[in-house]
Structure 1
Amino acid sequence: MGNTYRQAYFHIVYAVKYRAALIQSSWKTELEKYTTKIVQEQGHKLIAVGAATDHIHLFIGYNLNQTIPDLVEEVKTSTTKWINNRNFCNSNFKWQNGYGAFTNAHSQIDAVAKYVLNQEKHHRKVSFRDEYLEMLRKNEIKYKDEYLFEFFE
């Protein structure tokens, strides 16, 4: 359509079922590369991906032709099959239900990308629970505790 311009950036976060620390450093990079491939195949631009042992962050240039729920479902389903087919875990790998999706401005690209890429360093100081709750607060998202990820400390 003529004279239609758009850009959208999303920071997406989701966790391993029961917040189990199943993502191992021996295959984390492969998971990040596979996730990048899926996101790109869905028509989005993966700006940064950062996996921790129990969750993952995606920062994308969002293609408005697909809904966020459909994208997250595709990424979770595909990566679950990929992880299980390679027997990376001693048990059946699953992601928790739900996710967080936060919008960002173009001016925030560098800061958010650096944040996503530095997950290991970040989580030496801050728990995932505290990190996620801070994201909700900063974005002024009202939530109910019973609908949050299962946090086991």
Structure 2
Amino acid sequence: MANTFSQLFVHVIFTVKGRANLIHESFREKVEKYIAGIVSNKKQKLYAIYCMPDHVHILISISPSATISDLVRDIKSASSSFISLNKWVVGKFSWQEGFGAFSYSKSQVDKVVNYIIKQPEHHKHQSFKDEYLELLRRFDVSYNEEYLFDWVES
């Protein structure tokens, strides 16, 4: 009997509700480890994660039996509860609706991992809005401005 073989790498990006800077350095790594556990428990593989104060980048390999929407929903739901239960923010923490998902080939994985783990340096030179719009353009993703993340200009 034949098996299913795949190699699917997805770069997922989602933001804190209202793009508030709520993921503080004091607990950032705990949130990253918690999200890594969610990905692992869902039988997917995490290659890189970085939680910026207002958004998250994740690179995962995903099996064909999993759906990206379900995985991201589970990550956002469980991690927002985790952040709220630990009282790292005032009130209830939540992620903004929606996410970006961009696929990469195996030959690009190291470059994407490096890009994700160097997010703080990257954002010294480029805003999140510019970064996200650049990804949408680079991947030729059609979008309506009305349905993009809430933008916070600094």
Q: TM-score range by the shorter chain?
A: over 0.9
Distance 2:22 2:3 in 1: 47
Report the alpha carbon displacement of residue 4 of structure 1 after superposing the two structures with TM. Answer: 3.7
Distance 1:33 1:26 in 2: 13
Q: Residues 2-151 of structure 1 correspond to what in structure 2 (within 5 A)?
A: 2=2, 4-151=4-151
Report the alpha carbon displacement of residue 5 of structure 1 after superposing the two structures with TM. Answer: 2.2
Distance 2:39 2:64 in 1: 13
Report the alpha carbon displacement of residue 66 of structure 1 after superposing the two structures with TM. Answer: 1.2
Report the alpha carbon displacement of residue 53 of structure 1 after superposing the two structures with TM. Answer: 0.5
Instruction: Figure out how many residues of one structure are paired with residues of the other and give that number.
Output: 153
Q: Which amino acid aligns with 2:41?
A: E
Instruction: List, as ranges, runs of 4+ consecutive aligned residues in structure 1 with deviation greater than 4 Å.
Output: none
Q: Which amino acid aligns with 1:28?
A: R
Q: Could you say what the CA RMSD is over the residues aligned between the two structures, in angstroms? A: 0.9
Q: Secondary structure at the match of 2:140?
A: coil
The runs of 5 or more residues in structure 1 that have no matched partner are none
Q: Deviations over 1:9-52 (max 9, x none)?
A: 00000000000000000000000000000011111100000110
Q: Which amino acid aligns with 1:132?
A: Y
Report the alpha carbon displacement of residue 152 of structure 1 after superposing the two structures with TM. Answer: 1.5
Q: Which moved more, 1:63-72 or 1:105-114?
A: 63-72
The runs of 5 or more residues in structure 2 that have no matched partner are none
Q: Secondary structure at the match of 1:152?
A: coil
Give the TM-score normalised by the residue count of structure 1. Answer: 0.97
Report the alpha carbon displacement of residue 107 of structure 1 after superposing the two structures with TM. Answer: 0.3
Q: 1:63 to 1:152 in 2, by over 3 A?
A: same
Distance 1:124 1:21 in 2: 15
Identity of counterpart residues, as a percentage? 40
Distance 2:92 2:54 in 1: 14
Report the alpha carbon displacement of residue 91 of structure 1 after superposing the two structures with TM. Answer: 2.7
